[in-house]
Amino acid sequence: MIALPDGWSIEWLEEVDSTNEHLKRGSYQHGHVVVADRQTHGRGRRGAVWHSEPGGGLAFSVMLRPSEPRGLWPRLALAAGLAVAEGLGRLGIEAGVKWPNDVWIGDKKVAGILVEAVPEGAIVGIGLNVGTREFPEDISNTATSLWLADRVDRTREEVLEILLPPLAAWSARIGRDFGELLGSLRERCVLTGRAVTLDTAAGSESGVVRGIGDHGELLLESSDGIRPILQADQVRIT
């Protein structure tokens, strides 16, 4: 058994289509965590497949019932990214947040986050590469794991126990305490000062990231000046 935040519960599954879908099919209380040894249809944003080597990845989802208005719930992706990066820091691994929903070690992705609103709350799904030694060739230059970062063997239970407390803490700060969340997020933003190309609803846009705005938006500087980017399907460093 692992220690959980107050009032939270946990469910372990050997196999499931996806942990997010599992939570959608039931009625779960705030803080219910479901962890799967294997996902047959794990996915990230835009329906992308999430690669997870059997036994090498930590895949889990949490049902949250925020008291804040639904319009603020997209901030949960930022809260979750910050929580994962902070938790990895407690393991001695320096990690950063790639707006809006990835966690990086160096310039490689170690975790992805998918937040989905449901009638009774919001589901935060997290996929984290823990013990993976080698990735498929097509993602080997962009993906990493905790083991590749420091060659330390860790159990998924050990890592999960480190991640849940900051997730509980930061997910509760998407309202009036959002400024505190933003301060920590800005310190860990890996995009600030870097040239990027983004795919947005208006098309492809390029510029230099000048930080994160007061509402969690990305601040992009181009020849037209600095403007906020509220949402992007993909962000590539150029």
pLDDT score of 222: 94
pLDDT tops 80 at residue 44: no
pLDDT tens-place string over residues 75-112? 999 999 999 999 999 999 999 999 999 999 999 999 99
Label residues 145-175 b or e (16+ Cβ within 10 Å = b): bbbbbeeeeeebeebbebbbbbbbbbbbbbe
**In angstroms, rounded to a whole number, what is the distance separating the alpha carbons of residues 231 and 138?**
26
pTM of the predicted protein model: 0.93
- 46 has a pLDDT exceeding 70: no
Confidence of residue 206 (pLDDT cuts 50, 70, 90): very high
**What letter would DSSP give residue 63?**
E
Which one, of 50, 48, 18, 56, lies nearest residue 35 by Cα? 18
Instruction: Give residue for tokens 């083991």.
Output: 147
pLDDT in tens, 51-85: 555 568 999 999 999 999 999 999 999 999 999 99
Averaged pLDDT score across all residues of the chain: 93
Higher pLDDT, 173 or 233: 173
CA–CA gap between residue 197 and residue 208 (Å, rounded): 9
**Span 149-185, pLDDT tens digits:** 999 999 999 999 999 999 999 999 999 999 999 999 9
Angle at 137 between CA 20 and CA 110, to 5 degrees: 45
pLDDT for 202 = 84
Domains of the chain, each with CATH number or no CATH: 9-188 (3.30.930.10), 195-237 (2.30.30.100)
Res 40: pLDDT: 87
pLDDT above 90: residue 211: yes
